[in-house]
Structure 1
């Protein structure tokens, strides 16, 4: 019996955890990685070291793959088109991925389908930023490079016309958005298969520190059930309208109107497993990674329902701890239910090197356990 080969472009932790989810199914993975030291390259047996920006490398890699999916959104769009023309099965395909690669394209398409978004437009220079600020009620405004930003990179919080010059120095298009006075950040994670089956995970609250996801709470505490349903329906509609195959994360703002009513606005899209879905590894019947594998292979999707009342994910960021492995003794002894997921990365300050998941029936207890473990592994908590 021949099982399919899934090609994964990108060797980061998302590829590592997606590969892990395919192991019980007997799915073979072939990896295109930048270096042998990348997170997924350490654990996948079939690894090609090469540059995803080189079309010949991509074409050679695609040989022997039944389907190709992605750890990141950075493969040049024209290369995706060329692979598609060669008959390579890409999931998601270029027509979908362009909306995750280009924020200007994303905003334009979301407006076409009536998805709620912050006020925005492409700006050409600092004077244009000032004009945009006047249109939306004044500074501050948010500026983003149209392509390439992530984890707070390529994003500027601009308070004055003088501060508006920096984003243009990169020589790429810039998107201006109004600053949304939001209550909190949410994420709606959904998965869609080629034959149109789709599932939605509970909407989660995502807490950021310095532009990087720190904590995810599933489900989002105190979220109105009607608003949660709207967020799930919106994410499913976006996945369908954009033709997404696989996992889609829709990052959202929860804001309050002048009349006090809560509403949601789309912040960003990611067409791959996402940090806001890492809780599903231990907190859902079927994880985001397992469902992504099922979707790209057009297998029936798994149950997305949670296993416990609450699940909390905390990222482990690189710090100055001299012996992170030695810290396992304390964390595991203190909390036998704790789940630790490390990525095999060199520890650098502020770098995501792993995450922990906790679950249970009391939110305060689950939060405290996750925060303690993540802090102890990082070295910010010592007892």
Structure 2
């Protein structure tokens, strides 16, 4: 009988696990939040991932549970473990992906390089941090933020007054120094429950309005020192936090050539979409291999350069699908991946991958293909 993988969450990451699951002969099942989501083709159940009995019923007939996102509550995750369900990544690891304050404290314990940070619960403490760190800082809600949500750059505590006023007793916000970085990088590592790991090449990411817009793999101008440093950081975090499956470590490369940890994601990640068409083993196949404790695949690039361009927003005058023929005609090597999502300003509705030997040509051609989805 095929191994059965249950994915909690019906978004595009679950959608992109389906094809490699089929190729590996796996029986993939999805618990979607509602009908018609990205991964609807494999949705065998619909329900609230925060409800224990809903998730428990879904997990009853699978060999392993994994995730499209990190938002499943700790009590649900731990109850599944008590039931004997294999959960990867497990609650002890996801604890740090779910709470940025806990993440910062754990990374400090592991000796990882990161921005100056503090936990604050009142305007005076926040203003003191801002004043001590150059007059501007980044304030984050510890839980729930992604793609620029739950993040503000502030020059005064007054600019976060609504967040401070809304804090429950004992709750805190995370404040970090505003890093003077030259570029953003991402390091991915896959780790199995038995402790095997594989690291992908470090990539450069380009953000627009807090959302990843482009990825270049491998990162240009990444010398041996930088490659070794980012891989060492990724592996140390995966091992130190006990991550199983894919881990993405978002990084700042500073103007004085330091590398600082920005964010973590314990699942396939936007910064790794390039690997679908540009690596021997794509991140979605690798994640499935890892959570099932199968031998990990080779993460090496198959070409000198791969460029991923996110399709943000999508066309409003017609459908995404109606634009695909023209986009494919723009370049014979282009790979278009759509998410089955309705267009909406700033929303990730798909991406384009292109590989090649000359970086400038690959970037230009990929942007031309992706532009076919703009209005």
CA distance in structure 1 between the partners assigned to 2:313 and 2:255 by the alignment: 35
Report the CA distance between 1:227 and its aligned residue: 1.1
Match of 2:183 in 1: 184
Per-residue CA deviations over 1:10-65 (Å, capped at 9, x if unaligned) read: 00000000122111111011111111111001x21x52010001111111111001
Per-residue CA deviations over 1:192-241 (Å, capped at 9, x if unaligned) read: 01111110111000000000000000011112221121101110111011
Match of 2:161 in 1: 165
Match of 1:18 in 2: 17
Task: Tell me if the contact between 1:143 and 1:167 (Cα under 8 Å) persists in the aligned partners.
Answer: no
CA distance in structure 2 between the partners assigned to 1:34 and 1:85 by the alignment: 24
Report the CA distance between 1:321 and its aligned residue: 4.1
1:244 equivalenced with 2:243 (yes/no):
yes
Report the CA distance between 1:320 and its aligned residue: 4.0
Task: Tell me if the contact between 1:339 and 1:356 (Cα under 8 Å) persists in the aligned partners.
Answer: yes
CA distance in structure 1 between the partners assigned to 2:352 and 2:99 by the alignment: 31
Match of 1:308 in 2: 303
Task: Tell me if the contact between 2:315 and 2:373 (Cα under 8 Å) persists in the aligned partners.
Answer: no
Task: Tell me if the contact between 2:245 and 2:266 (Cα under 8 Å) persists in the aligned partners.
Answer: yes
TM-score (norm 1): 0.95
Match of 1:28 in 2: 27
Task: Tell me if the contact between 1:321 and 1:377 (Cα under 8 Å) persists in the aligned partners.
Answer: no
Match of 1:79 in 2: 76
Please give the residue correspondences for 1:1-383 in structure 2 after superposition, counting only pairs within 5 Å.
2-41=1-40, 43-44=41-42, 46-136=43-133, 138-171=134-167, 173-257=172-256, 262-323=257-318, 324-379=320-375
CA distance in structure 2 between the partners assigned to 1:132 and 1:272 by the alignment: 32
Report the CA distance between 1:282 and its aligned residue: 0.1
CA RMSD between the two structures? 1.2
Give the 3-state SS of the residue equivalent to 1:207 in structure 2: strand
Report the CA distance between 1:106 and its aligned residue: 0.5
CA distance in structure 1 between the partners assigned to 2:113 and 2:194 by the alignment: 27
Equivalences, count: 371
- Unaligned residue ranges in structure 1 (runs of 5+): none
Report the CA distance between 1:170 and its aligned residue: 4.4
CA distance in structure 2 between the partners assigned to 1:359 and 1:173 by the alignment: 44
Cα distance 1:48–1:250, how it changes in 2: closer, same or farther (>3 A)? Answer: same
Give the 3-state SS of the residue equivalent to 1:326 in structure 2: helix
CA distance in structure 1 between the partners assigned to 2:145 and 2:172 by the alignment: 12
Cα distance 1:49–1:169, how it changes in 2: closer, same or farther (>3 A)? Answer: farther
Give runs of ≥4 in structure 1 deviating > 6 Å. Answer: none
Give the 3-state SS of the residue equivalent to 1:325 in structure 2: helix
Report the CA distance between 1:73 and its aligned residue: 0.6
CA distance in structure 2 between the partners assigned to 1:169 and 1:18 by the alignment: 41
Task: Tell me if the contact between 1:320 and 1:349 (Cα under 8 Å) persists in the aligned partners.
Answer: no
Cα distance 1:86–1:178, how it changes in 2: closer, same or farther (>3 A)? Answer: same
Report the CA distance between 1:369 and its aligned residue: 1.2
CA distance in structure 2 between the partners assigned to 1:154 and 1:367 by the alignment: 31
Task: Tell me if the contact between 2:314 and 2:349 (Cα under 8 Å) persists in the aligned partners.
Answer: no
CA distance in structure 1 between the partners assigned to 2:126 and 2:23 by the alignment: 52
Identify which range, 83-92 or 320-329, moves more after superposition: 320-329
